[in-house]
Chain A
Amino acid sequence: MSQAYAWSAVATIVSASTAGDVLLSHAMKQVGDVSELRRRKGFLALAGTVLRTPTFLLGVTAMATAFYAMLFGLSWADVSLVVPASTSLTFVTNAVAAKFFLHERVDHRRWLAALLVAGGVVLLAL
């Protein structure tokens, strides 16, 4: 039963964190290079620009959902199961989502890296 709880937490973390990563990446590409913006406009103006970006707020909401799902998961199962399992799956779902939603050029090198890291993270959990 606790395994079912742990894996349902993993499923929630993966969905929420993929949505969060894609939304945040989209938001930060809209904002632009932060170091350059900070130099030009100052830190407060930069923070204001980021906080006023709608996809940033949506991304943070998705990440908060993933964070609380992680807190539940960690209290039910080992950190060595929940963290690597959810993260390894997130690498693969993020590569797919980045290709289709962010239109990143996910070439063979990026796929190989995502799969190697996902596989490595699974091995860490065994």
Chain B
Amino acid sequence: MTFRKYLVLAGVAIFAVTGDSLVSRGMKHAGAVSLHNLPSIILVVFRPEVALGVFFLLAFFACYMAALSWADLTYVLPTTSVSFILLTLVAKFALHENVSVTRWMGVLLISIGVGVVTQGPSMTHPEKPQQPECVPAPEPARMES
């Protein structure tokens, strides 16, 4: 894992939080979406907050695809769950929501989970049948002249 790859993983987390928060705010302003009015759920994407949120979610998607090209799914998902820690910090300090002790415990569990997974390799290969290792051919005996 290089510094650049950690930056891509950070991008996954940060863009996901920003995108989700913007879409969530836009949806709250739009009010309840009804199954009886299907065009409303398509048109809601054109609301400025939702549109900006979708832009950030596209950036998230690009970083996520890049990460999946060089790391396992079961490595990328727990690692990028840092986004939930960020989401809680945004809820507490930007949206001024009340963050309970239970939620801070959740943040702690996620932090331990991220710590555990990052100790291991980012990419594992499917288990293959053991193949005999190549033994280098012995050097031919030199003819002493």
Binding site for B on A (CB under 8 A): 21-22, 24-25, 28-29, 31-35, 50, 67-68, 71-72, 74-76, 79-80, 83-84, 87, 90-91, 94-95, 98-99, 102-107, 109-110, 112-117, 119-124, 126
Q: Which residues of B contact A31 (CB under 8 A)?
A: 69
**A98 with B74: CB separation less than 8 A:** yes
Residues of B within 8 A of A (CB): 4, 20, 23-24, 27, 30-33, 35, 41, 44, 57, 64-66, 68-70, 72-78, 81, 84, 87-88, 91, 100, 102-103, 105-114, 116-117, 119-120, 124-127
Interface of B is mostly: helix
Measured between alpha carbons, how far is A91 from B73 in the docked complex, in Å?
Answer: 10
Residues of B near A124 (CB, < 8 A) are 84, 87-88, 103, 106-107
Q: Are A110 and B68 in contact (CB under 8 A)?
A: no
Q: How far is the CA of A29 from the CA of B57 in the complex (A)?
A: 22
- The answer to whether A117 and B120 touch (CB under 8 A), given A28-B68, A71-B44, is no
Alpha-carbon separation in the docked complex, A20 to B110 (Å): 23
Report the Cα distance A121→B88, complex, angstroms.
11
Q: Is the pair A116, B112 in contact by a Cβ cutoff of 8 Å?
A: yes
Closest to A124 in B: B106
Contact yes or no, B119 A75, CB < 8 A: no
Q: Are A109 and B105 in contact, with the CB atoms below 8 A?
A: no
Give the Cβ gap from A4 to chain B, nearest Cβ, in Å: 14
Distance A18 CA – B21 CA, assembled complex (angstroms): 22
Q: How far is the CB of A45 from chain B (nearest CB, A)?
A: 15
> How many angstroms from the CA of A17 to the CA of B128 in the assembled complex?
28
Shortest CB-to-CB span from A118 to chain B, Å, is: 8
Bound-state CA distance A84–B110 (Å) is 12
A90 to B101, CA, bound (A): 24
Q: Can you give 26 contacting A-B residue pairs, CB < 8 Å?
A: A21-B73, A28-B69, A29-B69, A33-B69, A33-B70, A34-B65, A68-B41, A75-B32, A79-B20, A83-B87, A90-B77, A102-B73, A104-B124, A110-B75, A110-B117, A112-B113, A114-B78, A117-B113, A119-B109, A120-B105, A120-B113, A121-B110, A123-B109, A124-B88, A124-B107, A126-B100
- Residues of chain B lying within 8 A (CB to CB) of residue A25: 68, 72-73, 76
Kindly state the separation between the CA atoms of A33 and B71 in the bound complex, as whole angstroms. 9
Chain A residues near B66 (CB-CB < 8 A): 34-35
Contact B126 A74 (CB under 8 A): no
Q: Would you call B114 and A113 a contact (CB within 8 A)?
A: yes
The 3 closest A-B pairs by CB, nearest first: A123-B106, A120-B109, A116-B113
